[in-house]
Amino acid sequence: MVGVRSSALTNVPTLYQRPAPDYALLKGMMKFAGYSFALSFHPMPTSNTILNRCRLSHTNLCTPMFFSAYYTQKRQSHHNSGAVAKYYLPPWFSVAPMMDWTDNHYRTLARIISKHAWLYTEMVAAETIVHQKDNLDRFLAFSPDQHPIVLQIGGSNIENLAKATELANVYCYDEINLNCGCPSPRVAGHGCFGVSLMLNPKFVAEAMSAIAANTNVPVSVKCRIGVDDHDSYDELCDFIDMVSSLSPTKHFIIHSRKALLNGISPAENRSIPPLKYEYFYGLLRDFPNLTFTINGGITSVDEVNAAREAGAHGVMIGRAAYNNPWHILGHVDTAIYGAPSSGLTRRQVLEKYLAYGDSVLGKYGYRPTVRDIVKPLLNLFHSAPGNGLWKRKADAAFRNCTTIKSFFEETLVAIPDTVLDSLVAEPSPGRGDLFANVDSLLPPPYRTTEEIVICA
Ligand SMILES: Cc1cc2nc3c(=O)[nH]c(=O)nc-3n(C[C@H](O)[C@H](O)[C@H](O)COP(=O)(O)O)c2cc1C
C-alpha cells in the first residue's frame, strides 16, 4: 500500500473506500440515498461551486435528495428518448475518448460487453457542434443504453464552447469533459486547443466556467502532466489549483505522461514521453478535495484494481479496451464493480450487435458503411483461434457485403464454435505491482505561491 492512500481517500464519499464493493449493497445504498451518478462520484454538493451549478440560492436546498430530484427532473425535461438510466455506479472504470475509435459503433459494442464502464465520446470540436447545429444527431446522438456517457469537447473559443455545451444539453450526456491533452498539431498547433490549453490555466478556468454555466451535469478536464519543458510537478499543480479554484471543475483525468509539441506524431506522444504515475498520486495527496482519474499505459483489470487500491478514484483505459475489448471490458462488471457477469458469449454479443448494425447502416446517406460498423468488431477475437483467418475473410467481405448479416455469414465460419460459445475466460494476470514503488517516487508536496509567501 502506498502512503497516499489514506490521505487521498479521507475527503471522498465513503463509497470510494470500498476496494471490493458489495454490488447489491452498493446499488441499494445509491438508490436509497437518491444518488444520481453525480453524487456518487463527486464530492457532496455542499460547496459553493456545486451550489452555483444548481443555480439555487439556498444552501439547504442542495441536500443530496433535493439535488438528485432537481437533477433528474432537468435531465428528463430535455431528454428526447425518455429512457434515462437514473442510477449509475461510480466511474471507477472508464473507456478513454479516442478519435475515430470510440464512435457510436464502438460504444455500442462496449456497452453490450460491460454494463457499468463509463464511456467517453471521441472529441467533438465545439466549432463542429456550433456550425452543424441542424445536423447534430450525426455528431451527438447515442442510444440510451450508452449511459453513463461523457461528451468530450475541444476548443479554444469560449463562446463556442458555451454554445456547444448548450446545444448538447438535449442529448443528456452525463458529464461534459474538456480536452486539454491532445497533442495533435492540427489541434494543439494550428487550432491552439487540446494540450496547448495547459499553458493557459486561467483560460481553461474561464472555459470551464462557461461550460458549467450552460449545463446541469458535472464538468471535468482531461489533461496531460505537462507540455514540453513545462513539466515540473509544481507547474502541473498550478494548473490544477487554478482551474479547480476558479471554475466548478472538481474532476480531472490525468494522462500521466507529458506531451511533446516538437513534431512527433500523436501516436508517438502516447509512447515516447515516459509515464510518471507519481505525479498522479502526488495530486491525490495534494488536492484531497478533488477527484482524479488515472490514465495512460494501464492494460488489465488487475492494474485497474491496483491503481484503485493505491488511491485512484477512477481509472481510464484507452488502447487496451479498444484492441482487446472482450478480455478487458468482459471483466469490468465482475472484477471492478463486483457486479454479476452478463453471462454473454461472443456469439450473443454479435447477435445483439447485428440488430444494432443493420438498423443504422446507411442512416446518413452512404454512411455508416458496413466497414464503419464492423470496425470495432475486428478486435473481438484478439489472440483467439481463427482470428487471422477471420480478418482475412473480413477484408474480402468488405468488398461485396451490403449488410452486417451477410458480413457475418461470410466471415464467422473462420471462428470455431468453442470460441464463439464460451464465456469470457479468467483474466490473464496484469502487473499487479505497477504502482508498488510510487510511494517512494512522490514529488515533494505542493505549496501554492501564497503558502510559500506566508511561510517565508
Ligand atoms: C486513436 C486514439 C485517439 C485518441 N483521441 C483522443 C481524443 O479524442 N481525446 C482525448 O482526450 N484523448 C484521445 N486519445 C488519448 C486517449 O484518450 C488516452 O489518453 C491515451 O491513449 C492513453 O491511454 P491508454 O494508454 O490507456 O491508451 C486518443 C488515443 C488514441 C489511441
Distance CA 372, CA 340 (A): 31
Q: How far apart are CA 439 and CA 441, in angstroms?
A: 5
Q: Which residue has the CA at smallest separation from atom 29 of ligand 1? A: 98
User: Which pTM was predicted?
Assistant: 0.84
pLDDT at residue 96, as a whole number: 98
Residue 57's pLDDT is 25
Q: Is the CB of 222 under 6 A from ligand 1?
A: yes
3-state percent breakdown (helix, strand, coil) of the chain, nearest 5: 50, 10, 40
Spot the catalytic one: 62, 172, 180, 182.
182
130-133, long-range: CB < 8 A, 24+ apart = 130/160, 130/163, 130/164, 130/167, 133/167
Task: Report the DSSP beta bridge partners of residue 221.
Answer: 178, 252
d(CA 3, CA 9): 11
Q: Whose CA is nearest to atom 18 of ligand 1?
A: 318
Cα torsion 347, 352, 354, 355 to 10°: value is 150
The predicted pLDDT at position 167 comes to 98
Ligand 1 centroid, distance to 250 Cα (angstroms): 21
pLDDT in tens, the chain (456 residues): 222 222 222 232 322 223 334 555 554 444 333 333 333 443 332 223 222 322 222 222 222 222 233 233 334 333 433 334 457 999 999 999 999 999 999 999 999 999 999 999 999 999 999 999 889 999 999 999 999 999 999 999 999 999 999 999 999 999 999 999 999 877 766 557 899 999 999 999 999 999 999 999 999 999 999 999 999 999 999 999 999 999 999 999 999 999 999 889 999 999 999 999 999 999 999 999 999 999 999 999 999 999 999 999 999 999 999 999 999 999 999 999 999 999 999 999 999 999 999 999 998 888 999 999 999 999 999 999 999 999 999 999 999 999 999 999 999 999 999 999 999 998 888 898 999 999 999 999 998 767 766 666
Residue 453 CA to its chain's centroid (Å): 38
**Rounded to an integer, what distance in angstroms lies between the CA atom of residue 159 and that of residue 370?**
37
419 neighbors 389 (Cβ within 8 angstroms): no
Give the whole-angstrom CA distance, residue 160 versus residue 129.
9
CA-nearest residue for atom 4, ligand 1, is 98
Asked if 275 and 231 touch (Cβ cutoff 8 Å), the reply is no
Active site residue 182: yes
Which pLDDT belongs to residue 456?
61
Q: Comparing C-alpha atoms, which of 276, 259, 289 is closest to residue 443?
A: 276
In DSSP terms, 178 is beta-bridged to 153, 221
Is any ligand 1 atom within 6 A of the Cβ of residue 317?
Answer: yes
Q: Determine the Cα–Cα distance for residues 157 and 165; give it in Å rounded to an integer.
A: 12
- Rounded Cα distance, 241 and 144, in Å: 35
pLDDT attached to residue 36: 37
**Cα of 95 vs its chain's centroid, Å:** 5
Rounded Cα–Cα distance for residues 431 and 434 (Å): 5
C-alpha cell belonging to residue 281? 498520486
Q: Would you state the pLDDT for residue 192?
A: 79
Indicate which atom in ligand 1 lies nearest the CA of residue 181: 11
Predicted local confidence at residue 77, as pLDDT: 37
Report the distance separating Cα 414 and Cα 239, nearest Å: 51
Element spanning 153, H or E: strand 149-154
Q: Is the CB of 319 under 6 A from ligand 1?
A: yes
Task: Provide the pairing of β-strand 118-125 with 93-95.
Answer: parallel
Q: How far apart are CA 211 and CA 260, in angstroms?
A: 27
Could you tell me which residues come within 8 angstroms of residue 184 by beta carbon, excluding any fewer than 6 positions away?
194, 266
Q: What is the structure's pLDDT at 360?
A: 94
Confidence (pLDDT) at 188 = 64
- From atom 21 of ligand 1, which residue's Cα is the shortest distance away? 318
Cα of 132 from ligand 1 centre, angstroms: 24
For 207, the grid coordinates are: 472555459
Answer yes or no: is the C-beta of 194 below 6 A from any ligand 1 atom: no
Residue 389 near residue 414, CB atoms below 8 Å:
yes
pLDDT in the model for residue 23: 53
Spatial CB neighbours of 186, under 8 Å, sequence gap ≥ 6: none
Q: In the chain, how long is the greatest CA-to-CA distance?
A: 74
Mention every residue, 6+ apart, whose C-beta is less than 8 A from residue 245: 205
